[in-house]
Chains A and B, each alone.
Chain A
């Protein structure tokens, strides 16, 4: 079970009170997590990554285990602590403007 924490605006969009729990059959990667997240909450499509290119939107960052994973390959394995649910994957709106 993977725990995903979304920024407040996306929680409101998806009407989520707190973190999301995702079960993955295969390898725990950012792509797999986002695929599962968007499948369950289609209103999040296009808000975290681009519809067409599937690249992370520039002002969205991925943090976990006190590391910035934003620039890792989306197909790279997430840290074990994230894959086991010990630590959440944090999806963050970059600190910029108001």
Chain B
């Protein structure tokens, strides 16, 4: 029977949650790296026993951990993230130039085909690549240096590159998203990049339709339709059907279109999920009810999924990397909260139950579907 392994990064360590395909009885393993912030951990699609973890702290900086046995044991690998050339400046919160400074790795995206190849999205925003299992890292500086970099600015969480998507049908095409710069695409394996933000509108910008400066929170894609992208922006849920060349809003009847994560059902490319958050100043669920909203029409029409989720006095947040879907026949969904709960649904969101309730604040959730 298939099984799942849920990889949870928290403010104070990593946890690995495992269950068989029923996803009812869970084993909780951790904390790994207790006391450290684990922004993200993710397994290689090419070798599920190969995991990468971003371990960091304000005191001791960045560490990258690698496991070759599915998280049973770990070893620290390379942690030197040096920007290519003279880093230059981006905009600070007050609009003044600010030097590019490495802070941490937000997101690790292993290659679909090579367990030793992995991409890292970092703060201050840049994309790094390793081809030796994380031992050494080099910047794909065509992204940061393509021209608009000096106008990028940090979002409230820092100026982070948080989303990395591979096109499964085109090895040269990749998407990234940066808060607060926007979405970018390469068609040549990461050498050259260009902004893909046409159709986004952000009232926080002097020019609301500027080419860059948008606070994109997350982008999601279904493997079968790599030209269709779904975006949770700071405000607005957006969709592109032309590989990011243009975007249109699909917020529809959502109670609020502010939020962080967005996911696509594993088997239904027009079924998408968001977690509406009240506003940019109130980072908690609307009306104190944790509701995952599902659209089965690729947007516009949304329904709340509430069965098993707290429907009163709930003031947690769900961060941008803190949702995931498994690929079992009955698609499973996972939602981690800043209150330390990880909720799971084994039926595409109809019913939910907590796997754990009292972890440190959850920063990221990934799931591996294993044979």
Q: A82 to chain B: closest CB distance in Å? A: 22
Question: Interface digits, A62-98 against B, CB 8 Å rule (1 contact, 0 not)?
Answer: 0000000000000000000000000000000110110
Question: Interface digits, B39-79 against A, CB 8 Å rule (1 contact, 0 not)?
Answer: 00000000000000000011111110000000000001001
Residue of A nearest to B11 (CB): A98
Q: Is the CB of A59 within 8 A of B59?
A: yes
How many residues on chain A are close to B (CB under 8 Å)? Answer: 22
Q: Is the CB of B60 within 8 A of A93?
A: yes
Residues in chain B near residue A8, CB distance under 8 A? 35
Residues in chain B near residue A45, CB distance under 8 A? 79-80
Report which residue of A7, A46, A59, A96 has the largest number of chain B beta carbons within 10 angstroms of its beta carbon.
A46
Residue of A nearest to B12 (CB): A98
Which of B33, B35, B59, B79 is the one whose CB lies under 8 Å from A46?
B79
Kindly state whether residue B34 has any CB partner on chain A within 8 Å: yes
Q: Is the CB of A52 within 8 A of B82?
A: yes
Given known contacts A12-B34, A13-B63, A43-B63, is B58 in contact with A59 (CB within 8 Å)?
yes
Given known contacts A9-B35, A13-B76, is B58 in contact with A46 (CB within 8 Å)?
no
Q: B38 to chain A: closest CB distance in Å? A: 13
In the complex, A45→B61 CA distance in Å?
A: 10
In the complex, A60→B59 CA distance in Å?
A: 6
Question: Interface digits, B72-101 against A, CB 8 Å rule (1 contact, 0 not)?
Answer: 000010011010000000000000000000
Q: B273 to chain A: closest CB distance in Å? A: 32
Question: Interface digits, B12-45 against A, CB 8 Å rule (1 contact, 0 not)?
Answer: 0000000000000000000001111000000000
Residue of B nearest to A41 (CB): B76
In the complex, A42→B76 CA distance in Å?
A: 9
Q: Is the CB of A9 within 8 A of B80?
A: no
Question: Interface digits, A16-41 against B, CB 8 Å rule (1 contact, 0 not)?
Answer: 00000000000000000000000000
Which of B35, B57, B76 is the one whose CB lies under 8 Å from A43?
B76
Residues in chain B near residue A60, CB distance under 8 A? 59-60
Given known contacts A57-B60, A94-B59, is B82 in contact with A9 (CB within 8 Å)?
no
Q: Is the CB of B79 within 8 A of A9?
A: no
Chain B, 84-132, CB within 8 A of any chain A CB: none
Q: A12 to chain B: closest CB distance in Å? A: 7
In the complex, A9→B33 CA distance in Å?
A: 8
Q: Is the CB of B82 within 8 A of A10?
A: no
Q: Is the CB of A51 within 8 A of B76?
A: no
Kindly state whether residue A2 has any CB partner on chain B within 8 Å: no
Q: A17 to chain B: closest CB distance in Å? A: 16
Q: Is the CB of A9 within 8 A of B61?
A: no
Q: B323 to chain A: closest CB distance in Å? A: 26
Residues in chain A near residue B58, CB distance under 8 A? 59, 96-97
In the complex, A43→B63 CA distance in Å?
A: 8
Residues in chain A near residue B62, CB distance under 8 A? 46
Kindly state whether residue A4 has any CB partner on chain B within 8 Å: no
Q: Is the CB of B60 within 8 A of A9?
A: yes
Which of A12, A46, A57, A96 is the one whose CB lies under 8 Å from B80?
A46
Q: Is the CB of A48 within 8 A of B76?
A: no
In the complex, A4→B76 CA distance in Å?
A: 21
Given known contacts A13-B76, A52-B82, is B34 in contact with A47 (CB within 8 Å)?
no
Binding site for A on B (CB under 8 A): 33-36, 57-63, 76, 79-80, 82
Binding site for B on A (CB under 8 A): 7-10, 12-13, 42-43, 45-48, 50-52, 57, 59-60, 93-94, 96-97
Interface CB pairs A-B, < 8 A, 17: A9-B35, A13-B63, A43-B63, A45-B80, A46-B61, A46-B62, A46-B63, A46-B80, A47-B61, A47-B63, A48-B60, A51-B82, A57-B61, A59-B60, A60-B59, A60-B60, A96-B59
| Complex A-B, nearest 7 residue pairs according to Cβ-Cβ distance, in ascending order | A43-B76, A47-B60, A59-B59, A93-B59, A51-B80, A46-B79, A9-B35
A42-B76, A59-B60 given; name 20 further pairs at CB < 8 Å: A7-B60, A9-B36, A9-B57, A9-B59, A9-B60, A12-B35, A13-B76, A43-B63, A46-B61, A47-B60, A47-B79, A50-B61, A51-B80, A51-B82, A52-B80, A57-B61, A60-B59, A60-B60, A93-B60, A96-B59
